[in-house]
Amino acid sequence: METMSIVVLLAAVALTGLIAWYFFGPKKSHRASLDDGIQVVSVTVKGGYSPDVIEVVAGVPVRMLFDRQESGDCSSRVVFPDFKVNQALTAFETTAVEFTPDRSGDFGFACGMNMLHGRLLVIEPGPQERPRAASGSATAASDSLAKVQGPADPVAVSNRTPTDAEDEEAQARDRNAEIRDLTRRVLVGAVLALPVVFAVMATELFSVTWVPGVLLNHWVQLALISPVMFYSGWPIHRTGWLALSHRTAEMNSLITLGTIAAFGYSLVVTIAPNVLPSDVRQVYFEAVGVIITLILLGRLFETKAKAGTGAAIRTLIGLQPRSATVIREGKEFEVPIEDVAVGDVVMVRPGEKLPVDGEVIEGRSPVDESMVTGEPIPTVKTTGDVVIGATINQTGSLKYVATKVGSDTMLAQIIKLVREAQGSKAPIQRLADKVSSYFVPAVVAIAIWTFAVWMIAGPPPSFIFALVAAVSVLVIACPCALGLATPLSITVGTGKGAMAGILIRSAEALETAHKIDTVVLDKTGTITKGSPVLTDILPVDGTAGDDLLRLVASAEASSEHPLASAIVEGARDRGLKVTEAATFESVTGQGVRAHVSGLEVLVGNERLLAGAGVDPTPLVADASALGRDGKTAMFVALDGRAAGVIGVADTVKDGSIAAIAALHDRGLDVVMITGDSRLAAAAIAREVGIRRVLAEVMPEHKASEVRRLQAEGRVVGMVGDGINDAPALAQADVGFAMGTGTDVAIESSSVTLTSGALLGVVTAIDLSRATMRNIKQNLVFAFVYNGLGIPIAAGVLYPTFGLRLSPMIAAGAMALSSLSVVANSNRLRGFTAKPLPDVVRVPATDPVVDVGRDEEEEEHTMHDATSTVKDPICGMSIDPANAARVIERDGQKFYFCSEGCATAFEKAPDAHAGHSH
């Protein structure tokens, strides 16, 4: 082997080792300083994060001061997915990000587009528990305990949290400024590079002779391309070098290395041609000009397209009015929405948006809530009804008391949830992140070996061939396609969900939902309306139905039982006059006895009539028929004789039947779970078309039934709305909570359906499937593009087919690759929920009904009575060792089955502290 070949190989080996050490060797960590009980660290944002490895202690609040010394869309947000932080960073300002790391570990943080990365090392309190440094991870260097000071002027960091609208306006200004800047740089690049490219291509490819010789002059080409290299390409080179200085690398680093190699070599040929052999005195100014111009053009299109992925957040923010009309001391004042306080009386007129959440105290008007709940039909609001900010008042006027303002409103919570979801990472993204972490160093290594191999074995002049191939490898590689593949689709998917009234808490939930094969539906409040209504009036012996109902309603008017309320409301809906009973007596466990219009009225069960000496036999057949239909039958007697049966039932919600049919059509098994009797449960299941029922399940055992289904290998989605559903929602692979349900259920769920309709479950699963399909398309494209493009650029086709890739073509392909991923992600914006059919044919089949088994009691028969405790919120029996969370208060310990129950306890501990454990 020639000496030169040996030198080239040794140099390639040495450079490869140097690259491996530089990118993967130990890094120095910086520990936050402690200031008045808060860990404080300053981070400079300029082409990366500095420092990018930060050490903090678990359980102590952290304030990170991000000094963003640049503009542009990429670094406009910082995301800590493990701690649900997704914060906008204003350009050329310092933004404080505060949170408390609740567990130790090595956690990543990144910009909103997953291009810039840092690491947060969270250690346990106490030096003995500090993790040891391993190869490739941050080491606690001798100065790692040095304080990281905050800004010289603490006043420079505002304590006021910007509103969502201010955040969005700042980002819009940032984005528009970037677009204007990129447009200028692209125009400069195009105007100066096109003459050079035209002259070179026309001469070399078509051998034309009429091209002005001045355009082929190396000095003229240098003069034309230098502004393209140093002005147009400045954002690329600046970001690329900054990333390399942080011992990381990304797409800009590759472009910078490639263009510097080509420009530097051409500069030597132009200024000192005699130092090179005559056969390698070729310049590549045209390649530099085209590479930079095409990259910037692709970035310009990409920036414009990325703006579309956040359209849902901007739409939600735009829903809120900027001002409100409040009544203070009897006078109306128009004030900024930020000045509305809890307790203010707000006035809204026809066509106006409601500024904040509240409760109506005067007026009646339909309100369009579609922008929040996804329900297209306006809801009539009157005194006592709850109204939601950002919804639109229609034909009437309303006065209401503000109950939630600022960050507590439903709209603000929706925006917060969407941002948290968009900042979280889906499990599928871990693969892309893992590959991306090795991608750029691997590409640089491939470029080095490409140069080495062709330098040794390439056709003459081998140096030129090797240089062109190495530059092509650097330019064609596109880590952006990998980095953007998942977060852009997640951003669009969660945003589309929010616009449809589906609040997805995390990217993981969005991904898991597409794997669901079994949907478990709680009956009450999920399939049914959750409140009983009058369904049947069955008089006997010639008693008029309206007379019977009037007497029964008057007798029940003094009762607070939900069934009594259903009867009274049903009578009033029929226009019957409900009078006050002369006497009223509630018979525990049986019913009521009252005197109405001179008649003794008995309303209750069979035992009530029998105990009063009334023969209930004439009513038994009708009562049994109602029971078979899942209804509650109430026996009625008038003056000692059987008079009829009243039927009350929790009726099926509008749309439940169609939604359940849609779930079946998508190949999902649907299971209903309820505490009702087998007979009542079967009746509802038969009505809605459910084939499998878990009946007589105690509230605390719903989670056990979900576990039992998971043990069968199923991926379970649980849908519920009550406190007793919280453990099951937390246990399920994906928990869907009705937005009309309790706060505990919502906190325990992965997805919240603001409309409270089952259609949301169908739409959420459809959206998950569409999003995952989109992500997989992006990833396949990114892997295939890089997997084919890099070898072709390296010259693998040259020995067989004589084909090699020009750096200019490589640059065009790279620009198109990122743009293709962005464009494909934007296709999700066209997702629409499929409407449910108006008429659904329910199959006439009897469901299979299983009775819930007391798994919890079986599990604990081996333990002492003291080995289990009860969750003070939902009442579920749990093993202390398996509690999701333990809270100690006033010397007592409280154990919780889920984070949702723990959060509910923290909000109102005094209301539950009596349940000591």
Residues annotated catalytic, as ranges: 522
Q: Which residues pair with 522 in a beta bridge?
A: 673
- Beta-strand relationship, 94-99 and 62-68: antiparallel
- Beta-strand relationship, 138-139 and 331-336: unpaired
Residue 645 is inside which H or E element, if any?
strand 641-649
Distance separating alpha carbons of residues 866 and 59, to the nearest angstrom: 31
Q: Is 814 helix (H, G, I), strand (E, B) or coil?
A: helix
Residue 357 is inside which H or E element, if any?
strand 357-363
Query: Buried (b) or exposed (e) across 504-528, using 16+ Cβ within 10 A?
Result: bbbbbbbbbbbebebbbbbbbbbbb
Q: Is 537 helix (H, G, I), strand (E, B) or coil?
A: strand
Distance separating alpha carbons of residues 384 and 362, to the nearest angstrom: 9
Q: What is the 3-state secondary structure (H, E, C) of 396-445?
A: CCEEEEEEECHHHCHHHHHHHHHHHHHHCCCHHHHHHHHHHHHHHHHHHH
Residues in the chain: 917
**Residue 140: other Cβ atoms inside 10 A:** 18
Q: Which residues pair with 852 in a beta bridge?
A: none
Q: How far apart are the first and last CA of the chain?
A: 81
Distance separating alpha carbons of residues 735 and 799, to the nearest angstrom: 57
Residues 6+ apart with CB under 8 A from 193: 224, 225, 228, 286, 289, 290, 292, 293
**How distant, in Å, are the alpha carbons of 3, 186, 189, 190 from that of 224?**
40, 14, 9, 11
Closest CA to 182 of 236, 226, 257: 236
Distance separating alpha carbons of residues 909 and 638, to the nearest angstrom: 49
Closest CA to 319 of 333, 337, 303: 337
Distance separating alpha carbons of residues 849 and 858, to the nearest angstrom: 21
Four-residue CA torsion sign, 572, 577, 583, 587: negative
> Which DSSP string do the residues of 77-99 spell out, in sequence order?
EEEEGGGTEEEE--TTSEEEEEE
Q: Which residues pair with 68 in a beta bridge?
A: 45
Planar angle of CA 173, 178, 180, nearest 5 degrees? 95
Distance separating alpha carbons of residues 437 and 446, to the nearest angstrom: 15
Closest CA to 355 of 395, 384, 393: 393
Whether residue 642 contacts residue 540, with contact meaning beta carbons closer than 8 Å, is answered with: yes
